Structures are given as structure tokens and as C-alpha cells.
Amino acid sequence: MAFTIDDVEELTGLVVAAWRTGLDRDWSAPAGRLTWSCLRTADHTVDTVLAPAIFLASRKLDGYPAYGVSTPGADAAPAVLIEALATSARILAGVVRTAEAGARAVIWRRPEVEVRGPADFPPRAGLELILHAHDVCQGLGVPFKPPDGLCERLRAHTRDWPIWASPGWSSPTDAPDAWRDLLRASGR
């Protein structure tokens, strides 16, 4: 069950809408259980969507590109961060959709450098997007509940990924509620 760039676009729309409902809230508040503020977490979220686009576009096979990715920064206004998230998702969509099927690039460096094809870059962005969207929404006190099918595709696509072995994380299960399972597996 693949999590596709269409899923990233749908998820981004949901996140943008949720965050917009919280524009008048305190974005300096902690993002859920994180020590980061909602602003810092939102800025990081922009990076987690933009970076996979840069990785795939680079076609580097031995590591991440040697240059940084620009985000608005944690001091940006919430509306700017929301715009940056939407823009980053469109950039990722463009890169994924125009990549030839045989394209390969480094998708992550830990626990070791791993190269993957275009189909794995949307869930790379989607996993962090969905979790950090939850964190920011929790900090702002606004509701966020992604669709079951989207969560199930994301869980299925990433089930064997090394991220689940990170400290404080555990493997996803086959629990009926994929969203709650993703939250549980990520330590949230």
C-alpha cells in the first residue's frame, strides 16, 4: 500500500487548514510534548517537506547535498510558515512527478546511508509532516485528525523503515486505528 505524492498534497491541505485556524493562538507555546515552540516546530516541518525534494533532485548517492535548505526560520510569522509549508509541498510534488522511474538518491543517513527511488520520498516527508502537524495543533489547541486511509497508507509504506528503531519509538502494529498507532509508535 503506497503513500503517494497525492497523499502529501492532501495532508498538506489539511495541515494548512488546521494551522490557519490557530493563527490567533500563541505560537510561542510548546508544540505538544516537544520542548520546541509551535513556531520552531512549524519551521522544522517546512524543512522536513522541502529537504526530501532537494535530496531527490540532487540524485546524490553518497550523502545529502552539501548545501543547506532555506526555511523562513523560527522567528517568522505563522502565516509565512504556513505559506512556506504549502510551497514546499508543491516543490516536492514537482520533483517527485518529474523524476524518472530509475532515479535514485539518498533518503536518509541513519543508521546508515540508504538510497531509494522517487516513490519513497513522499512518505519520507509525509511521516514527519503528519507527526509535527499533530504537535503544532496540540500546542495551539486546534483539532487535527487525518483521514484513516491516508494514515493506513503511511503506516504500511513506512512499516519497515529504520525510523521506528529511533530512541523512544517502536514499530507500528496492525491496530485498527492507524492514526493512533502512528502516534503511539512515534512516542506521542
Domain architecture of the chain: domains with CATH: 5-180 (1.20.120.450)
Does the structure show a pLDDT above 80 at 68?
A: no
Chain segment 75-115, per-residue pLDDT in tens: 999 999 999 999 999 999 999 999 999 999 999 998 999 99
- Rounded Cα gap, residues 20 and 131, in angstroms: 17
**pLDDT tens for each residue of 1-34:** 899 999 999 999 999 999 999 999 999 999 999 9
pTM (2 decimals)?
0.96
The owner of cell 496492525 is 174
Cell numbers for 7, please give them: 497523499
Give residues with Cβ within 8 angstroms of 79, minimum separation 6. Answer: 23
Band of pLDDT at residue 36, cut at 50, 70 and 90: very high
Quick check: 67 and 55 in contact, CB under 8 A?
A: no
How would DSSP label each residue in 48-85?
A: HHHHHHHHHHHT-SSSS-SS------TTS-HHHHHHHH
Alpha-carbon gap, residue 60 to 185, rounded angstroms: 30
